[in-house]
Amino acid sequence: MKLNGALAGALLSFLARAEATRVRGGKASAIDISSVGDLLEPMEPRQLQTADFVPLACNAALADAVCTPLPADFAGVVPCGVCYSMSDFGGARAGETLTMASGLNVIGRLDFPDGSKVTIETPSVFVQGILSMSSTRAVTGEPDVRIRMTGDTDVNFTPEGENAGACSGGACNVGPKAFVVAGGQLDINGMPDSCPTWSHILSVGHAAQPVPADFPSPPDPPTSSSGALCSASVVNEDFEGGLNQWYGNLGAYESIQEGSHDGSRYLSITERTANFQGPLFELSNEIKECILPDTAY
Query: Residue 135 contacts by C-beta under 8 Å, 6 or more apart in sequence?
Result: 5, 29, 30, 31, 114, 115, 144, 145, 189, 190
Q: Identify any residues that bridge with 98 across adjacent strands, giving them in sequence order.
A: 120
Residue 215 predicted with pLDDT over 70: no
Reported pTM: 0.56
DSSP secondary structure letter of residue 272: -
Q: What is the CA radius of gyration of the chain?
A: 22
What is the mean predicted confidence (pLDDT) over 269-286? 87
Query: Residue 122 contacts by C-beta under 8 Å, 6 or more apart in sequence?
Result: 76, 99, 100, 101, 103, 104, 147, 148, 149, 150
Of 56-65, 117-126, 199-208, 266-275, the least confident: 199-208
Q: CA 297 to CA 284: how far, in whole Å? A: 18
| Amino acid found at 77 | V
Residue 146 predicted with pLDDT over 60: yes
Give me the pLDDT at residue 120, please: 94
Q: CA 266 to CA 98: how far, in whole Å? A: 27
Q: How confident is the model at residue 100 (pLDDT cuts 50, 70, 90)?
A: very high
Compute the mean pLDDT over every residue in the chain, rounded to the nearest whole number. 78
Give me the pLDDT at residue 137, please: 76
Give me the pLDDT at residue 202, please: 65
Q: How confident is the model at residue 198 (pLDDT cuts 50, 70, 90)?
A: low
Q: How confident is the model at residue 83 (pLDDT cuts 50, 70, 90)?
A: very high
Q: Is 16 in contact with 1 (CB distance < 8 Å)?
A: no
Q: How confident is the model at residue 237 (pLDDT cuts 50, 70, 90)?
A: confident
Q: Is 39 in contact with 15 (CB distance < 8 Å)?
A: yes
What is the mean predicted confidence (pLDDT) over 42-63? 68
Q: How many CB atoms lie within 10 A of CB 7?
A: 29
Looking at the chain, the whole-number percentage of residues with pLDDT higher than 90 is: 28
Q: CA 8 to CA 125: how far, in whole Å? A: 18
- Look at strands 156-157 and 178-181 and give their pairing: unpaired
Q: How confident is the model at residue 192 (pLDDT cuts 50, 70, 90)?
A: low
Q: How many CB atoms lie within 10 A of CB 289?
A: 16
Residue 229 predicted with pLDDT over 90: no
Nearest to 266 by CA among 282, 274, 254: 254
Q: Identify any residues that bridge with 16 across adjacent strands, giving them in sequence order.
A: 179
Dihedral in degrees, nearest 10, Cα atoms 193, 140, 22, 97: -110
